[in-house]
A = this chain, B = another copy of it.
Amino acid sequence: MARMPSAERRQQLIEAAIRAMTRDGVSRTTTRSIAAEAGVSLSVFHYCFDSKQALIESVITAITDHGVTVAKEAIRPKATLRETIRAGFQAYWDHVTANPGEHMLTYELTQYALRRPGFEHLARRQHALYCDTYGELIEQLRHSMGFELRVPVPVLARYLAAMTDGLTLNFLVLGNDTAWADILDMITDHVTGLVCDQVQPAAMD
């Protein structure tokens, strides 16, 4: 194999690990299968990472950061607040249905982290970042569209992070057998009802 700087090899191994874990599940993914997926030998793996745990730590960080990006891109201002919220939920949901393996992997890694002593902080960082991201998106909308909320922003943010997580897991288990659109409509109504308008709701920033 061609020689390559360590940093690049590390990135290559992280991406290979994500592919292998998405395909086979975290518990069935071995250092050998990751090295094979990356097209390198086993000792190259251990040249770049001290241990399997060190690699997984990098994988969790990468997956978490990517998840935050996905959530942020789901919000695109529309004509009304309701449409903005509904479209945001839909964009997130489209990502889930289009990339079930990626979301499945996220859950697996959360539990992996919770179960390894010294790794709990990675799981906490992941969920805290999601809560913070929702909080930022709410504040952003609140300022651009001009409204107040009947509940504190952190409470709503925590609820949204947890609730979407639960819907996602439920979809991963039960699949597309249900009128998910009805559920997204219902939570849109709920969230929309939590705002008390201060200016014209149709006005954009």
Of B123, B155, B174, B190, the residue contacting A182 (CB under 8 A) is B155
CB of A44 within 8 Å of the partner chain? no
Let me know if B165 and A183 touch, CB within 8 A: no
User: Which one, B107, B158, B178, B193, contacts A170 given CB within 8 A?
Assistant: B158
Q: Is A159 an interface residue (CB 8 A)?
A: yes
Closest to A164 in B: B166
A128-B174, A165-B170 given; name 6 further pairs at CB < 8 Å. Answer: A27-B112, A28-B115, A104-B114, A126-B173, A151-B182, A162-B163
Nearest B residue to A161 via CB reads B170
Q: Which applies to chain A's interface (DSSP): helix, strand, loop or mixed?
A: helix
Q: Which residue of B lies closest to A156 (CB)?
A: B186
A164–B167 Cα distance when bound, in Å, is 10
* Copies of this subunit: 2
Q: Closest 6 A-B residue pairs measured CB to CB?
A: A166-B166, A162-B170, A25-B115, A162-B166, A165-B166, A127-B173
State A172–B107 Cα separation when bound (angstroms).
13
User: B182 and A152: CB pair below 8 A?
Assistant: yes
C-alpha gap A103/B173 in the complex (Å)? 17
Cα distance A127–B151 when bound, in Å?
30
Please state if A169 and B165 are interface contacts (CB–CB under 8 Å). yes
**Residues B178 and A158 in contact, CB atoms below 8 Å apart:** yes
Are B186 and A155 touching (Cβ within 8 A)?
A: yes
Asked if A201 is at the interface (CB within 8 A of a chain B CB), the reply is no
A111-B111, A114-B173, A126-B173 in contact; A183/B158 too (CB < 8 A)? Answer: yes
